[in-house]
Structure 1
Amino acid sequence: MARPDPPEFLKRTGQKYTEPPDIDLTKPSIARVYSYFLGGKDHFEADREMANYAEGVVPGVTDLALGNRAFVQRAARYLATEAGIEQYLDIGSGLPTDGNVHEVVHESTPHGRVVYVDKDPMVLAHARALLADNNTTIVLKADLTAPKAVLQEAVATGLIDPDRPVALMLGGILHHLQDEEDPGGITRELCDALAPGSHLVISHFCRPDAVRSPKSAKRAEALQKAFMEKLGHGLWRTREEILSYFQGWPLVEPGLVPLNDWRPLPKESAQAGNYVMPPRNKHIIIGAIAKKP
């Protein structure tokens, strides 16, 4: 396989390109697939094939990536401006794009501290290049399936004080864990370590009730089959399963809802987070924010 061109982010930063270690260009990466969905340029042929395959199975799957990004942006803005959160732990952050969490937070809270966590070598190379001169934001290599290590490394950066409220952001990541990896247990271990007043943000692929929403349930089933076939992960879980991940913490209004319905912005708004998913995929991805008592 021919050596790829330098990724766009390194062209922008003017850095010499050294291909990240342990990157297999023949297999799709969910971070790079999402980059393609979001209109980014940091992806390879295998990623584009996966994305186009999923789009062919269920037209409009790109909506989910765009809708998830908009929800995370609105969530970050709420946490910074209304909840008064000053430190953020964003796990499974993916490839940076316009309107990243730290950028949204810094609109109102310039001193806000953000620790991104990911295990994808492309994400790590990208983020480290762009954040090289940022002293309030850092990216760590760690794996969500080892929550104790994630917390230890985040605290070791000096940007996270475990005795003060933290925003734990799990945007679009838990649905990439298999049931046997125990996403509920992992989330519980992370949440138990957080101080009172901390907030938990989750967005997750949802499998609607087949009787109440037969078309949406069929779309969810088809997409799960496509993701599992091409990526080996990507589960559409029920609303009840997703709700259990919030550990019984009180939900911030409007609760656990389709992402479009979580504090939407006017379409004409200039703020990040104004994207609205078309109705066809509205009910197959949901999210919420909860506050630790």
Structure 2
Amino acid sequence: MADQPMSGGLVTHGIDITRPSGARVYDYLLGGKDNYEADRELCREIVKIAPEAREWARANRRWLKEVITWLAGEARVRRFIDAGCGFPTADNTHQIAQRMHLQSSVVYVDNDPSVATHGRALLLDNDRTHFVAADLTQPDQVMAHPAIANLLDAGEPVALLMGLVLHHIDDLEQTRAIVRTYVDALPQGSYLAITHVGNPQDGGPVEALVTELGENLKDTTPTLAFRSVEQITSLFDGMELIKPGVVRLAEWHVPGGRLDEDPPHDARDVIYGGLARKR
């Protein structure tokens, strides 16, 4: 099928614009233009319940910058895997890492066809950055890809970033197994960084909010899992969890304190973050 004009642009073969895409929904919440009506409709449903959703997306980007800056700086990590990377935007992983150290190598992984198209175009002139079109829920296949195999060959520490992706796998044991397979393949001294939507399960207003979101989104995102802090923490099993542990993003910081100013405090923040080191 030939590309078809839509919303003022082109739809690449293989992209289903009738169903919302997590990457495109996130893009829309960040104010991007790589989205379609199905994505925008889902965003409107989310924002109707949680007007703070756009700030949650921005908070996740702030987290990404802070954690990569620390990893490439204080932790001296030179190799990064951004799994479930989503659409390129301002200050992408390779830009942050290579700003800290020019020789940093980055591999992006995503199975969304529209993300693949944009990602490859972005990286044409950067020989230390690669894009792998693959499903992160198939870790053996992902880690066997030549671009990632080459990244691992040196045996140096690698930072695996999994931002706002694991909550799209509803089975907790499957999610743990996927993460464990990735971590087992990483060299000693590597890091795992995760952000994940959460449910405090304390009977308070945030639990009520995520329960309402889950009920309203179950038809369009049936596998979305708002997990407890304990369940998110279990994704780091066997690793050394870096303080402050798994906390809401407004409370999260790298060792030694924040690199930038404190973010706005959002009493209804539902995104949690954590960073751990492989012993």
TM over 0.5: same fold? yes
- Is 1:288 aligned to 2:274, yes or no? yes
Contact 1:155 1:161 in 2 (8 A): no
Aligned to 2:6: 4
Contact 1:202 1:288 in 2 (8 A): yes
- Is 1:130 aligned to 2:122, yes or no? yes
- Is 1:238 aligned to 2:228, yes or no? yes
SS at match of 1:34: helix
SS at match of 2:196: strand
Instruction: For residues 262-282 of structure 1, give each alpha carbon's deviation from its aligned partner in whole angstroms, at most 9, with x where no partner exists.
Output: 224544xxxxxx7x3542322
- Is 1:207 aligned to 2:199, yes or no? yes
SS at match of 1:253: coil
SS at match of 2:66: helix
Point out where structure 1 has 5 or more consecutive residues left out of the alignment: 8-16, 268-273
Structure 1 residues 253-292: aligned runs within 5 Å: 253-263=243-253, 264-267=258-261, 276-282=263-269, 284-292=270-278
User: 2 CA distance for matches of 1:35 and 1:229?
Assistant: 21
User: 2 CA distance for matches of 1:140 and 1:155?
Assistant: 7
User: What is the CA-CA distance between 1:6 and the residue it aligns to?
Assistant: 5.9
User: What is the CA-CA distance between 1:285 and the residue it aligns to?
Assistant: 1.3
User: 2 CA distance for matches of 1:87 and 1:128?
Assistant: 19
* Match of residue 157, structure 2, among 165, 176, 196: 165
Aligned to 2:135: 143
Instruction: For residues 96-141 of structure 1, give each alpha carbon's deviation from its aligned partner in whole angstroms, at most 9, with x where no partner exists.
Output: 1001111111111111000000000010000111111110111111
Name whichever of 123-132 and 148-157 sits farther off: 148-157
User: What is the CA-CA distance between 1:227 and the residue it aligns to?
Assistant: 3.0
Calculate percent identity across the aligned residue pairs.
36
User: 2 CA distance for matches of 1:39 and 1:125?
Assistant: 19
User: 2 CA distance for matches of 1:35 and 1:155?
Assistant: 26
User: 1 CA distance for matches of 2:158 and 2:271?
Assistant: 24
CA, structure 1 residues 61+209, in 2 after alignment: closer, same or farther (shift >3 Å)? Answer: same
User: What is the CA-CA distance between 1:91 and the residue it aligns to?
Assistant: 0.4
CA, structure 1 residues 101+6, in 2 after alignment: closer, same or farther (shift >3 Å)? Answer: farther
Aligned length: 272
Aligned to 1:66: 58
CA, structure 1 residues 138+209, in 2 after alignment: closer, same or farther (shift >3 Å)? Answer: same
- Is 1:196 aligned to 2:182, yes or no? no
* AA in 2 matched with 1:228: K
CA, structure 1 residues 124+277, in 2 after alignment: closer, same or farther (shift >3 Å)? Answer: farther
User: What is the CA-CA distance between 1:154 and the residue it aligns to?
Assistant: 5.2
Contact 1:64 1:281 in 2 (8 A): no
SS at match of 1:53: helix
Contact 2:143 2:149 in 1 (8 A): no
CA, structure 1 residues 250+159, in 2 after alignment: closer, same or farther (shift >3 Å)? Answer: closer
- Is 1:43 aligned to 2:35, yes or no? yes
* AA in 2 matched with 1:74: E
SS at match of 1:288: strand
User: Larger RCO: Structure 1 or Structure 2 (Cα < 8 Å, ≥ 6 residues apart)?
Assistant: 1
Point out where structure 2 has 5 or more consecutive residues left out of the alignment: none
Instruction: For residues 153-172 of structure 1, give each alpha carbon's deviation from its aligned partner in whole angstroms, at most 9, with x where no partner exists.
Output: 15556344362211011111
* Match of residue 100, structure 1, among 92, 99, 108: 92
* AA in 2 matched with 1:55: V
User: 2 CA distance for matches of 1:249 and 1:162?
Assistant: 21
User: 2 CA distance for matches of 1:236 and 1:156?
Assistant: 30
Aligned to 1:11: none
- Is 1:75 aligned to 2:67, yes or no? yes
User: 1 CA distance for matches of 2:71 and 2:217?
Assistant: 31
Aligned to 1:271: none
* AA in 1 matched with 2:272: I
User: 2 CA distance for matches of 1:181 and 1:28?
Assistant: 26
User: What is the CA-CA distance between 1:224 and the residue it aligns to?
Assistant: 2.1
Contact 1:174 1:183 in 2 (8 A): yes
TM-score, with length taken from structure 1: 0.87
Contact 2:107 2:148 in 1 (8 A): no
* AA in 2 matched with 1:3: P
